[in-house]
Chains A and B, each alone.
Chain A
Amino acid sequence: MAKAELKTEQKTEIEDSSSLKGTLASVFFLGLFIVITWVSVYMLFVERF
C-alpha cells in the first residue's frame, strides 16, 4: 500500500510582525513597582529594632 508522501522540506513560516515593546514596558513597570515596595518594606524592617 502506498504511503502518502511526507512533505518534510516545507517549513511553516511564523510571522513575527508583532512588537512586544509595549508588553516589555508594562512588565517592567509592574516589576519596578514590586521591587520598590519590597525594598522599602525590607529597609523599614532593617532600620527598626
Chain B
Amino acid sequence: MHMHKLEKIWLIVGVSCLVLFLTTIGVSAFYLGNKPPSCLTTVDPDKVDQQKPFDKPGLHKVEGKDWDYELVYVAQAFSYNPAQVKVPLGAKVKVIATTKDVIHGFEVAGTNINMMLEPGYVSEYTTTFNKAGEYLVVCNEYCGSGHHLMFSKIEVVKQ
C-alpha cells in the first residue's frame, strides 16, 4: 500500500497519543483503584435514618482501615446532614453519602469530590484533605424548588 511519508508520521503520533491516554485511564482504574462513586452498595431509602452508618451523620474516627475518618452525609430536599463539619488537615477521609428522597448532587466545590446521590444507593469517595480552607458543598442535580438553597460546609482546619 502506498502511503505518504508525512502521513505515516501523523498516524504514528496519533496512535501513540491514543495509547498514552488509554494507558493513563487503565492505570488509574486497575492499579490505583479509581472507580465510580456509586459501587454496588445499596440502602433502603425509607429507612436511611435507622441504618448504619447513616444513623449517625458526621465525621467519625475509624481504626484499622485504609482511611482515618469516615464522613457520613445524608441528603434530603433541601439540606444536607450535617450542615457543617470540621475535618483535620491531612486526614484521609472516606466520604459516604446517600439520599432519602430524590436524586441529589454532592459536589465539594473546587475539589474532585463530585458525586451523584441516588435513592437506594450509597456513594463513596476516599481522599486526603491536604489543603486547609472552607469548602462549600453544593447540590448539582436539580432536585426541586429549593435546589439552590441546598448546601453544606466543610472546614479543613489545622490541629
Chain A contributes a number of interface residues (CB within 8 A of B) equal to 16
* Chain B 106-146 interface 0/1 with A at a Cβ cutoff of 8 Å (1 = within): 00001111000000000000011111000000000000000
**Which of A21, A27, A34, A38 counts the most B-chain CB atoms under 10 A from its CB?**
A27
Task: Report the tally of A-B residue pairs with Cβ distances under 8 A.
Answer: 34
**What is the interface of chain A mostly: helix, strand, loop, or mixed?**
helix
A49 touches B10 (CB 8 A): no
B2 beta carbon closer than 8 Å to chain A: yes
Give chain A nearest CB distance to B37 CB in angstroms. 15
Question: What does DSSP make chain B's interface, helix, strand, loop or mixed?
Answer: mixed
Give the size category of B's interface with A: 20 to 34
- Residue ID in chain A nearest B24 by CB atoms: A42
3 cross-chain pairs, A with B, having the tightest CB-CB distances, nearest first:
A20-B6, A24-B6, A27-B10
Q: List 30 A-B contacts (CB under 8 A).
A: A14-B2, A16-B4, A20-B4, A20-B6, A20-B7, A21-B6, A24-B6, A24-B9, A24-B10, A27-B14, A28-B10, A28-B13, A31-B10, A31-B13, A31-B14, A31-B17, A35-B17, A38-B21, A42-B24, A45-B112, A48-B110, A48-B111, A48-B112, A49-B111, A49-B112, A49-B113, A49-B127, A49-B128, A49-B129, A49-B130
